[in-house]
Structure 1
Amino acid sequence: MSQETTQVGDNVASAYEELKEIGAAPLWRFYGNLFRKEPLSQAVPYHWSYERFRRSIEFFTGVMSLEEAERRVLMMVNPGLQDPPATLTTLFAGLQTIMPGETARPHRHTSNAFRFIIDGTGATTTVNGEVVEMRPGDLLLTPGWHWHDHVHAGDGPMYWLDGLDYPLVNLLEGSFAENLDAPRQEQTVPTGLSSRMFTHGRLNPAFLTPAGQSSPIGNYSWEQTQATFDAIGDDLEGSRSDGIILDYVNPWTGGPVMPTIGCRIARLRDGFVGQARRTSSNMIFHVVEGSGTTQVGDHSFTWQRGDTIAVPLWTWYRHMVAAGSHATLFSYTDEPVRRSLGFFREETREG
């Protein structure tokens, strides 16, 4: 190597070092990572067992007071997202419980949240002054910056799936949170009023003015969900990937229930074998009833009631249900965000 070539090399190396000093970096060295051919998530496909989670949370409920853990939540932490802990890069899932006689004090945060009730009766949540009952299969909304607290006046423990978008909110550095200096909110509207006003097909109260970007409905009840599935019946194939799948809808807009989270529920009939599908959105599936298997990428997860499965974006998934049985899957996704930004894509394939 000539002295001239060596000198050029030294000059280039020195120039690169100087870029660091001035707060710059050469795009040509990072181009392939900055503009990828397709999405690549740090999250991995994963399956959480309700049975094992419930045993663990029962233990901690027995040894920790409400003061030590006012919101008893076991986070579903993806192996690829340990610090900070998250279920997928934009979404969180956790199992929460509240015991008879307990009250989880009011707070609010910019993150949107919901509760999908798994087991128990007799508990309520209060959202911005409206008391909303909790029953298995119900979907309860807590839009961002809404006060919420939980009270259990019944018997036995209550269990529900917590879903939030705080990983996305934190990525956007948009987090605010506040505690209310009181053990409970004051009830300001009749119990369950939002559900009674809005969950009647396409009949919306014209005397109200739409406010905010989230659905005004506090509780999408399992009773009405079940009635919808029964009305549709078993004559339709539905989606080849997801069976008879229904959107929980904001009655003001006809769109998703919250601006960052879309919620769906699907009935997979006897012997269902789904077509493989992938989308550019993160998805979390929760088993409402039944059992089956879902292939996610190179993984095969056998699930039963109460289990939860994480499907990272742009990962193939495929549901299967054994002959002689059926299943119901609740799911939520960051698809509303992807669609609003023009990022959403999907593909299907056989097998």
Structure 2
Amino acid sequence: MNSVNFQSVDFDKTPPTVQLRMPERLIHKCFEAGGIHNAYSEIRKHPVFFVDLPSFAISMTIGGLNPGGCSNRHRHTYETILYIIEGQGYSLIEDRRVEWEAGDAVYIPVWAWHHHVNLNQDKPAKYLACENAPMLQNMGGLALREEAK
């Protein structure tokens, strides 16, 4: 993909149509079978699987919380929507406790401190996370994440 930096004076160069750029890969088969993204998972203290598809605007991961486990408290400049696949727990978003279970969707606002907790001591919890981090990264490195100390 060619990168072009337009400035305010270049507004008249906005094209009237869009050119289709069809990527070679349109599917990531059985992406969990590829294994946990170890470095990312280790820092965050819970397993994470990355979907490897050519999206420039959104990312998608499968995250897991071990029985009785929780994620690190963190915040980021990108929006996140979690879809709970299995399990029961809660997310603490700033000072609001949001209870969730399989089938629920949870919204994480930009720059809100949060972490996720699996209430089940015997079974893992699993969620799908969709985020707009790639879009922000492609706009000039605006996707930032901060871990609580």
TM-score, normalised by the number of residues in structure 2: 0.73
Is residue 2:144 matched to residue 1:345? Answer: yes
2:110 maps to which residue?
A: 313
Distance in 1 (CA, whole Å) between partners of 2:128 and 2:84 is 6
Counterpart code for 2:96: H
Q: 8 Å contact 1:241–1:277 — kept in the other structure?
A: no
Q: Deviations over 1:70-120 (max 9, x none)?
A: xxxxxxxxxxxxxxxxxxxxxxxxxxxxxxxxxxxxxxxxxxxxxxxxxxx
| Shift in CA distance, 225/270, structure 1 to aligned 2, threshold 3 Å | farther
Q: Return closer, same or farther for 1:312/1:215 CA change in 2, 3 Å cut-off.
A: farther
| Residue 216 of structure 1, aligned match among 23, 26, 33 | 26
Normalized per residue, the structure richer in helix is 1
In the alignment, which of 101, 122, 134 is matched to residue 324 of structure 1?
Answer: 122
Q: Percent identity?
A: 19
Aligned to 2:13: none
Task: Give the Å deviation of 1:212.
Answer: 3.3
Equivalence map 1:123-272=2 (5 Å)? 211-212=21-22, 215-217=25-27, 220=28, 224-228=30-34, 238-241=41-44, 243-250=46-53, 257-272=54-69
CA distance in 2, matches of 1:335, 1:237: 15
Tell me what 2:12 maps to. none
| Distance in 1 (alpha carbons) for counterparts of 2:24 and 2:146 | 28
Question: Structure 1's 239 and 281: CA in aligned 2 closer, same or farther, altered over 3 A?
Answer: farther
**C-alpha contact 2:56 2:138 (8 A) present in aligned 1:** no
> Residue 213 and residue 343 in structure 1: after superposition, are their counterparts in 2 closer, same or farther (change >3 A)?
farther
Counterpart in the other structure of 1:287: 84
Task: Indicate conservation of the 8 Å contact 1:289/1:327, yes or no.
Answer: yes
Instruction: Give the match's secondary structure for 2:128.
Output: strand
2:46–2:63 Cα contact (<8 Å) kept = yes
1:41-79 CA-to-partner distances (Å, cap 9, x unmatched) read xxxxxxxxxxxxxxxxxxxxxxxxxxxxxxxxxxxxxxx
Note the C-alpha offset of 1:238.
2.4
In the superposition, relative to structure 1, how do residues 293 and 241 fare at CA in structure 2: closer, same or farther (>3 Å)?
farther
What runs of 5+ residues in structure 2 fail to find an aligned partner?
1-16
CA shift in 2, pair 1:318/1:345, >3 Å: same
- Kindly tell me: are residues 237 and 212 of structure 1, through their superposed partners in 2, closer, same or farther at Cα, counting changes over 3 Å? closer
Q: CA deviation at 1:277?
A: 0.9
Give the distance between the partners of 2:48 and 2:78, measured in 1 at CA.
17
Runs of 4+ that moved beyond 6 A: none
* RMSD between aligned residues: 2.6
Larger Rg: 1
Q: CA deviation at 1:240?
A: 4.3
Q: Aligned AA for 2:145?
A: E
Quick one: which amino acid aligns to residue 93 of structure 2? V
**In the alignment, which residue of structure 1 is the partner of 2:4?**
none
Give the 3-state SS of the residue equivalent to 1:314 in structure 2: coil
Pick aligned residue for 2:72 from 246, 250, 275: 275
- The structure whose RCO (Cα within 8 Å, separation 6+) is larger is 2
